[in-house]
Amino acid sequence: MSELEPIEQSRNRTILERADLKEIVEKPLLSACEKLYDKNIRTLSTSCNKKDIETGFAYIIIDFDTLSTENQEIARQMGDPISYDEMMAVKIELPISVNTTATEVERSANDIADRFHDQPATWIKGYTLEEVHQIYGSTDTETKPEDLAAETGMAYNPDQKLFYPSEEHLNKARSISISRET
């Protein structure tokens, strides 16, 4: 653990694709964060590096407000909801020391992630055509939505008439629609 350098850019960064996690999550917590992402649980921040040895714990902070009722109960077993950047979150602490190995932290973090259940990705926002025009300062209202999606790098769902920041977000949003219909 004492050789792990911190990644200082993870706080509240929106993950557009699962592969982005590798850039912002330190290795011992990566697998757990990937599991949480796959379960549609939004991770807000993580830390597991040599600086954390001084505090005695590594951590994963998850967005409490967007958890399903079932997952909120599971999260409460690991920590009390806290105010975090104007939202409610749960900071899940994993005890570490100078003698803790990265493998031990990884195992503990995966055990925690395994306790959570799949849920709808309610934290993913779709944008209307008008909102996308506002975001990108576009005045060309004649552009077809599919062309606008290609220009902006967003993904477009013609059934919902909504744009999403990435194809993965669109697919996660589709799973919300499907679960509401069944």
- Do the beta carbons of residue 57 and residue 78 sit within 8 Å? no
pLDDT tens-place string over residues 40-58: 999 999 999 999 999 999 9
> Which uninterrupted H or E stretch holds 77?
none
pLDDT tens-place string over residues 84-127: 988 999 999 999 999 999 999 999 999 999 999 999 999 999 99
pLDDT at residue number 11: 63
> Measured at the alpha carbon of residue 25, what is the angle toward residues 86 and 73, in degrees to the nearest 5?
50
Place of tokens 């300062």: 137
**Mean per-residue pLDDT over the chain, rounded:** 90
Is residue 181's pLDDT more than 60?
Answer: no
In whole angstroms, what is the distance from residue 2 CA to residue 4 CA?
6
Report domain extents, the chain.
Answer: 18-115, 129-181
Residues 6+ apart with CB under 8 A from 166: 16, 17, 154, 155
According to DSSP, residue 60 is labeled E
In whole angstroms, what is the distance from residue 122 CA to residue 146 CA?
24
pLDDT at residue number 180: 42
Which pTM value belongs to this model? 0.89
C-alpha to C-alpha distances, 48 to 7, 21, 37, 104, 169, nearest whole angstrom:
9, 14, 18, 12, 27
According to DSSP, residue 42 is labeled P
